[in-house]
Structure formats: structure tokens, C-alpha cells
Copies of this chain bind each other. A is one copy, B any other.
């Protein structure tokens, strides 16, 4: 099992990115990592690494900046680490790719190569969100900001497979993100998608519309939404979590005396556990291969987790299931 890792991608690259790879190969004896990046920067970081035989280097001279326009950057920098990762995947030299770099460039890199799985109309990013009843999956969180109903339906199929095999929910419940629970709620996209689900083989798993406040209650396992809404939800959730913990820190700790340090430790542990950036990345589902997109702020631990997720995802053969289930449950035919 070999996974390519964009060594130049992320706010803190390449230091913690390479360190994450070193830990990942130590934790999984079957895993090899291909570090894609500038040799002069990456090689020194590997000097004292164990398992050097499973840490390979693919040299490239360019990197896409976190704030660069994806399309422009990919065109102007042909030797960038993100494009090189995708090419390694397309050439089947690796089974998966992982990057904490520019998300837009990562998605665009995949769309350029059009390495979609059979029957997939458009890939979608699946993010794992914490809820009071354990994790759920939100799809799409930014690959496709102007989807059609059939794309959202397919996100339901792919998200459901992910929930079943990665989150261990034997019969995942699927909800459609909307502004109210009635079928007639929302814009045309929501109404048409709702109708597609109700007319499909997923009908028994489809609980109908869900609202923003339902996500973190954990009443559904898969929340389907367009990439614009999903991206906003993901980042708003991060923002509210940060905001709330800041308030708790400030006001709670000020009210305590003897047990202030104890409380501080407990709160820090909670932040560490629910840190949205530490979840190990979000898979771009619908791609022929495994592609994990990590938060730009990913540190060592997040990268180690993401590599483990990529490996387990490849081993679970989810892609074969996606092809098969999309074949078995085609949405109503429509023009692309």
C-alpha cells in the first residue's frame, strides 16, 4: 500500500507534514508514503527517520500557495506538488493521495484529470462531523458549489457507503440539508433532490429534510448538501466551536479558584478531542483512487490520521461498492 503525500501543502509545510508521514509508517507496517515535494526541503527532514525504506521522495520544484487562485496556479506551475500527486494516482503508481494544501487546487487537479469512477457524475468531499451520538458524514463540503439534483442524490449514495463501511453504521440514515422539514421547503434544488430520493431505492434510508440544528444532534448519519452550503456549515461549525470554547475558558475559569487548573486541563482535552482540524481529512468521493483533503492548519497528528484513513479507505474497497451501488440505484435520467 503506497500513498502519495503532498509534502508542500499546508500552513506549516513541510515540517509537520513530513513528521506525520514518519509516524504513519511507524504505526502501519504495510504502509509506504511517497513524499511529493522539493527534495532540498524534504530530505533533511528524513535524516533521522526510522523505516526510511518505506518513505520515498518524488521531487518537484513548485508548490501552490494556500491563497493562490487554484486554476491560475495549476496552469502556471506545471511542476507543483498537487498536480504531481494526481499524476502519480492517474499512473497507478500510488493507491491514494493526501494533501493539506490549497483545497480548491486539490479538487481542481482531480477535475482536470477527470478520473471519476464509473457512473459518478461529480465527485464530492465528505467531511466527518462530531455529534452527540458519534460522528456523521456531511457531503459535499466544497467540491461542487453549483450541483444538480442528480449530483446530490449520488452524494447520498456515496455518503451512505462511507457511513456503513467507515463509520460502522449498518443502515445509515440520510437527511437532506434544508431550511425546514416539510417536503415543499427550500429552493428548487432542494425540492427536486428530495423528490429524487423519495423515488429511489434509497427511500427507506432517507429521512427527508434536516435543518442546521439537526446535524450535531446526530439523528442522521449522512447529511447531503451542495458544496457551497456544506463548506459554510463546516467552517461555521469550527467557528462556533472556537467561539464557545473561548467564552467557556474566559468565564468559567474566572469563576473558579482551587480547581481552576483541573478545569483548564479538562477543557484542553476536550478541545484536543473535538479539534475539527485533527479528524484526519475529508475524502473526495467519486474519484478512481483514494484522495484525502486535509485542513490547511493540519499538524503532524492530522497528517498521520489522514494517511491512516487513506490506507483503510483503500483497503475497504469502497470504490467498488460505489460503482456497484450507483449502477443499482440510478436516479431519474437527466441531461448533464
Residue ranges of A at the interface with B (Cβ–Cβ < 8 Å): 67, 69, 71, 104, 130-132, 142, 145-146, 177, 179-182, 184-188, 190, 211-217, 225, 227-229, 231-248, 251-252, 255-259, 262-263, 265-267, 269-270, 274
Whether the Cβ atoms of B258 and A234 lie closer than 8 Å is: no
Task: Tell me the nearest residue of chain B to A243, going by C-beta.
Answer: B216
Whether the Cβ atoms of B212 and A236 lie closer than 8 Å is: yes
Whether the Cβ atoms of A262 and B256 lie closer than 8 Å is: yes
- Chain B residues within 8 Å of A181, by CB: 67
- Chain B residues within 8 Å of A180, by CB: 104
In the complex, A240 Cα to B235 Cα: how many Å? Answer: 11
- Chain B residues within 8 Å of A266, by CB: 251-252, 255-256
- Chain B residues within 8 Å of A246, by CB: 132
Whether the Cβ atoms of A69 and B184 lie closer than 8 Å is: yes
- Ranked nearest first, the 10 interchain pairs of A and B with the lowest CB-CB distance are A212-B235, A212-B236, A213-B239, A216-B243, A255-B266, A240-B240, A216-B239, A259-B259, A213-B235, A179-B231
Whether the Cβ atoms of B248 and A255 lie closer than 8 Å is: no
- Chain B residues within 8 Å of A243, by CB: 130-132, 216-217
Task: Tell me the nearest residue of chain B to A227, going by C-beta.
Answer: B179
Least Cβ distance of A168 to chain B in Å? 21
In the complex, A67 Cα to B211 Cα: how many Å? Answer: 13
Task: Tell me the nearest residue of chain B to A180, going by C-beta.
Answer: B104
Known: A179-B145, A240-B216. A265 touches B255 (CB 8 A): yes
Whether the Cβ atoms of A145 and B248 lie closer than 8 Å is: no
- Chain B residues within 8 Å of A257, by CB: 259
- Chain B residues within 8 Å of A67, by CB: 181-182
A-B contact pairs, 18 of them (CB 8 A): A104-B180, A145-B179, A211-B232, A211-B235, A212-B233, A212-B237, A213-B238, A213-B242, A215-B239, A233-B233, A236-B240, A240-B241, A247-B274, A251-B269, A251-B270, A252-B270, A258-B258, A263-B263
- Chain B residues within 8 Å of A256, by CB: 259, 262-263, 266
In the complex, A131 Cα to B247 Cα: how many Å? Answer: 10
